[in-house]
Structure 1
Amino acid sequence: MTPTLLHAGNPGPFTGEGNWTYLIPGDHPVLIDAGVGQAAHLDAIAASLPAGPAEVIVTHAHSDHTGGAPVIQSRWPSARFSKYPWPERDGRMPWRSLADGDTVMSGAGPLVVLHTPGHSPDHIALWHADSRSLFVGDLLVLGGTVFIPASDGGNLVDYLVSLERLRQLSPARAWPAHGPVIEDPERLITQYLEHRRQREEQVLAALAERIETVDAITDRIYATLAPALVAMARDSVLAHLIKLEADGRAQRHDVHWAIVG
């Protein structure tokens, strides 16, 4: 499995150098993720596949993955667009609904849909068993961690379960939506799980010192963070607090949080 990597543009503080999309050519060419609709991305698709993709599968509904779908549809009207449902965010695109365990045919053979919520409730990964390759969307990124937007559908408990599910597959390679290809996904997943454990301990330590609000805990843990990233850090802290609440280890009282017991 060697897909064609197509850069979709969209660099920024939250997306790094931007978004990657993946084109799998063949009798049923598939494009994974739709980008944001930049002309250069569409021209790259056309240069690799003048007739366009037969199917566009998006890993989740965030705008940097779905924003280009209407433009692609306008240029190649016969293309089918598929995703796992998130009704509140799916808009007016004629999405074909995917479900966990579905198989989508591609030019490289079958891709198995894995529902992997956490970063968003509709997030999926695609598993190519013959090459033990995963298309992971925003589940993994080399050289950084993944944002869990607790105020917008993100759920850390789900995310950790999704990571464990991928690790059990023993993938040989992972193709992310941001950053370079991941040649040792199991190792990275293990690092991610340890990072989340350490962050949880930091949150618990703050609560033990009676630092009780999301803002105050964020200031304690992320003391030197760039101002542009503070809102994201707060959402990350909230994700950990909600997980601790689900585990029965923390409780909230209005905007205040405390350790249970």
Structure 2
Amino acid sequence: MHDDAAVPPAAVPGSIEPTSILTRRVLAPNPGPMTLDGTNSYILQAPGSPSVVVVDPGPLDEAHLAVLAGAGRVDLVLVTHHHADHSAASAHFAELTGAPVRARNAAYCVNGAPLTPDEEIHAAGVRIRVIATPGHTSDSVCFHLPADGPLGSVLTGDTVLGRGTTILGYPDGTLTDYLSSLATLRAIGPATVLPAHGPVLPHLDAACEAYLIHRQERLDQIRAALAELGADATVAQVTDRVYAETDAAVRFAAEASVAAQLAYLRDPR
């Protein structure tokens, strides 16, 4: 989910597209102002492995799930966070494939244990490191594939998008957490970015640096709005000033981000 305008789809839903040495993606047929082209479901598989790992099975769409299930024997399903465009199909996909589903939040696991920060998973011949990245949501995680090419790759969920910037789902997600998560990802270096929405990007560190700069610019805009409107300005008033051109369909998302930024300015701990 993002806080910038969507553009027409660049990929074809239902097709399997190579995205790196160890990954492929299938675009779900759920484009919209909050999902860009749609949700990218990823298939992880080392060369020669008969099994696969699926990340973010996405919305409950039978044709989409059939493509994922047909990619190989599904040994494991991983979920980056609880939002429905990533997790709605999890239980049904587990029934279709018999694979356990693991997420940071136990409520979204199916026959699998919750993910733990810095855990290493070995499945389908792929080494997967779990990175806790709260901010967009409290249960957001990213998956680092250190052996995916010379620089590795990171499946970033909604923490870093292929286009635009992510929203903060305050109060579940906070700006303090999000800034820390971006710094954690930046420290990985120039890995390939495999986002849940939008195109693949090079150089995770550069993408995170751009996001950090964007957040500081937004905070400056919030400060300027408060200077004009007064310290007691409401979330709606600040949103009108800072996100004046935001589409009505994503107004709620803009207000959530403003609320997160106001909370941060009052107490950045």
TM-score, normalised via structure 2 length: 0.84
Instruction: Specify the alignment match of 1:111 in structure 2.
Output: 128
Matches of 2:125 and 2:111 in 1, distance apart? 25
Kindly provide the CA deviation profile for residues 132-154 of structure 1, in whole angstroms up to 9, marking residues without a partner as x. Answer: 21011111112201011114x11
Instruction: Specify the alignment match of 2:17 in structure 1.
Output: none
Instruction: Specify the alignment match of 1:171 in structure 2.
Output: 190
Kindly provide the CA deviation profile for residues 149-192 of structure 1, in whole angstroms up to 9, marking residues without a partner as x. Answer: 114x1111101100100000103201111011111222221111
2:86 counterpart of 1:69: no
Instruction: Specify the alignment match of 2:246 in structure 1.
Output: 225
How many aligned residue pairs are there? 241
2:54 counterpart of 1:34: no
Instruction: Specify the alignment match of 2:205 in structure 1.
Output: 186
* Gaps in structure 2 of 5+ consecutive residues: 1-20
Matches of 1:142 and 1:109 in 2, distance apart? 23
Once structures 1 and 2 are overlaid, which stretch shifts more, 124-133 or 55-64?
Answer: 124-133
Kindly provide the CA deviation profile for residues 219-256 of structure 1, in whole angstroms up to 9, marking residues without a partner as x. Answer: 111222221122111111111011111238xxxxxxxx
Matches of 1:92 and 1:107 in 2, distance apart? 19
TM-score, normalised via structure 1 length: 0.87
Contact 2:190 2:202 in 1 (8 A): no
RCO higher in structure (CA 8 A, sep ≥6): 2
Instruction: Specify the alignment match of 2:8 in structure 1.
Output: none
Instruction: Specify the alignment match of 1:12 in structure 2.
Output: 32
Residue pairs, 1:203-222, within 5 angstroms:
203-211=222-230, 212-222=233-243
Matches of 1:91 and 1:108 in 2, distance apart? 25
Matches of 1:97 and 1:230 in 2, distance apart? 33
Once structures 1 and 2 are overlaid, which stretch shifts more, 223-232 or 234-243?
Answer: 223-232
Contact 1:27 1:106 in 2 (8 A): no
2:156 counterpart of 1:136: yes
Deviation (angstroms), 1:94? 3.6
SS at match of 1:174: strand
Deviation (angstroms), 1:8? 2.1
Between the aligned residues of both structures, percent identity stands at 32
Matches of 1:120 and 1:37 in 2, distance apart? 21
- RMSD between aligned residues: 1.7
Code of the aligned partner of 1:123:
S
Matches of 2:91 and 2:212 in 1, distance apart? 36
* Gaps in structure 1 of 5+ consecutive residues: 249-261
Using a 3 Å threshold, how does the CA distance of structure 1 residues 120 and 143 change in structure 2: closer, same or farther? same
Matches of 1:206 and 1:154 in 2, distance apart? 22
